[in-house]
Amino acid sequence: MTSTLRRRPAQRRSVERVERMLDECALLLDEVGYEALTTKEVARRAGVPIGTFYQFFHDKQGLVRALARRNLEAFLQRITARIPAADLEHWTDLVDLAIDEFVGMKRSTPGFAVVDFGEVLTTPDGPAVGGSRWSLDDAQENNVVVAERLRAVSLELLDAPAGPGLDRALLVAVEATDAVLKLAFRADPAGDPALIAECKQLVHRYLADHLP
Amino acid sequence: MTSTLRRRPAQRRSVERVERMLDECALLLDEVGYEALTTKEVARRAGVPIGTFYQFFHDKQGLVRALARRNLEAFLQRITARIPAADLEHWTDLVDLAIDEFVGMKRSTPGFAVVDFGEVLTTPDGPAVGGSRWSLDDAQENNVVVAERLRAVSLELLDAPAGPGLDRALLVAVEATDAVLKLAFRADPAGDPALIAECKQLVHRYLADHLP
DNA sequence: ACTGCTATGCGAGTAAGGCTCATGTTAACC
DNA sequence: GGTTAACATGAGCCTTACTCGCATAGCAGT
């Protein structure tokens, strides 16, 4: 994958069009789900001809990946914006803040409940290409990015013991959080509060091994 | 959803055909992934005409759901078969046994790495129909079934404190396990050992609140 | 203003997949 | 043997992802 987008929108008009397409994609995902989502409908609603659609997005998956990417950016932005204001006494406060923000976005951001940061579909890439996998330099595995960001914050705010163990632990925590919160929102469209609480507990207990 | 299958195979020949279709489905999932999987190819490889395919399966998703169902059944079977032989001193041994079996199936059972027990795609069901959701009586949410089974075993072997808290905790644990193991197998086709170990740790710590 | 030239806008058309349905075939029962 | 119901089959329909060649718009040099 060269980039998320096929062609980076240069003119102001193009940027707006891409943004509109992502917006409509998000809304449609909520309405009909990934499988029933059609590129034609996204283009039509966004007022963009189908040919132009494919100038910007590689394919249907590319569209959704771009949305996931935008979600990720928004999440990181919100997190970093809220951190200075909040007084974090323990690292657990940071965990809770992140989870609450994630839940907030699940509730308020269209399409977020369906895709959040994740690839909806994973395509097998044929016999693994050489080199250790998940190098993360390509866009794949957005959760890795989340984990890295949280790690950076952790190291900055609390004096956490750096090391590969923490990296892995945070990644595991993010992945688990993602799954449990998805469950919480499958069980209850507004997000089952008990399951959300349980999610925090899960992460607290687990990370207690790696943070003071 | 009435049932997983459209028509339950009655004759011996039909049962074999359904089984063959599921087998080929699993193999194809490993080869090309869910999205590129075609019903035509599954039917062709299984030596079954396409019309017959649709006599048994509602649609493409139905095929995959049926496979997930079969996987679930196989997993429960294996678990219950191994439990009497193993001497479980702590509940943690049960957790490890379940995870090891899961990992084993990820490695050996075709298609298991892609779908395991899960719905690959979730379709929004329109404004939630009345009644509390996830009643579980319908086939959805296979992980609920896993959680229930594990709970039954837990109550039997160890005298665990029954109650709704444990139910929820086990469900959360299963969901988290699923996610982390998926990560482990995305990172390394053979299943990253460090991540698998971390997965066990995650569950141990979390369930320690609910089991003695 | 005019003329080439490149970059972008556009949508009819193509290939392929999901799924159906009219017709053929077997089995079951009287 | 005859009647009826269940099952089998694959050509074809409809929809969807995606392309490609033409139209248009900006723009540099004269």
**B179 → closest Cβ in A61, A168, A179:** A179
pLDDT, average across residues A135-155: 71
Residues near B90 by beta carbon (within 8 Å), at least 6 away in sequence: none
Whose structure tokens read 């001193």?
A: B89
pLDDT greater at residue A11 or residue B166: B166
Question: Where is A119: in which H helix or E strand?
Answer: none
Mean pLDDT of the A151-163 span: 78
Largest CA distance in chain B: 55
CA–C1' A39–C20 (A): 25
| A195 and chain B in contact, CB less than 8 A | yes
Task: Tell me the per-residue pLDDT of A25-54, one tens digit each, with 9 for 90 and over.
Answer: 999 999 999 999 999 999 999 999 999 999
Cβ atoms within 10 Å, residue A143: 24
Whole-number pLDDT of residue B59: 95
Tens-binned pLDDT, residue by residue, of chain B (212 aa): 456 788 877 777 888 999 999 999 999 999 999 999 999 999 999 999 999 999 999 999 999 999 999 999 999 999 999 999 998 888 999 999 999 999 999 999 999 999 999 877 777 764 444 334 443 334 457 888 888 888 888 888 777 677 788 989 999 999 999 999 999 998 899 999 999 999 999 999 999 999 87
Q: Which residue, among A117, A175, A181, would best test binding to B if mutated, counting the most B CBs under 10 Å from its CB? A: A175
The string of DSSP codes covering B49-81 is: -HHHHHHH-SSHHHHHHHHHHHHHHHHHHHHHH
pLDDT tens-digit profile of A172-185?
Answer: 999 999 999 999 99
Q: In this complex, do A206 and B205 lie within 8 Å of one another by their Cβ atoms?
A: yes
Q: Residue A138: pLDDT band by 50, 70, 90 thresholds?
A: very low
Residues A119-125: what's their mean pLDDT?
70
CB of residue A60 closer than 7 A to nucleic acid strand D? yes
Rounded Cα gap, residues A124 and B11, in angstroms: 36
Cα B39 to Cα B57: distance, rounded to the nearest angstrom: 10
Radius of gyration of chain A (CA): 18
The chain-wide mean pLDDT, for chain A, equals 87
Residue B125: predicted pLDDT: 60
A59 touches strand D (CB under 7 A): yes
Distance CA(B156)–CA(A146), nearest Å, equals 41
What are the backbone angles phi and psi of residue A138, rounded to the nearest 5°? -85, 170
Contacts 24+ apart (CB under 8 A), B96-102: B96/B200, B98/B150, B99/B177, B99/B181, B99/B196, B99/B199, B99/B200, B99/B203, B101/B75, B102/B75, B102/B177, B102/B181
Instruction: Render pLDDT for A64-119 as a digit per residue (tens, 0 to 9).
Output: 999 999 999 999 999 999 999 998 888 999 999 999 999 999 999 999 999 999 87
User: Cα(first)–Cα(last) distance of chain A, in Å?
Assistant: 39
| A205 touches B at CB < 8 Å | yes
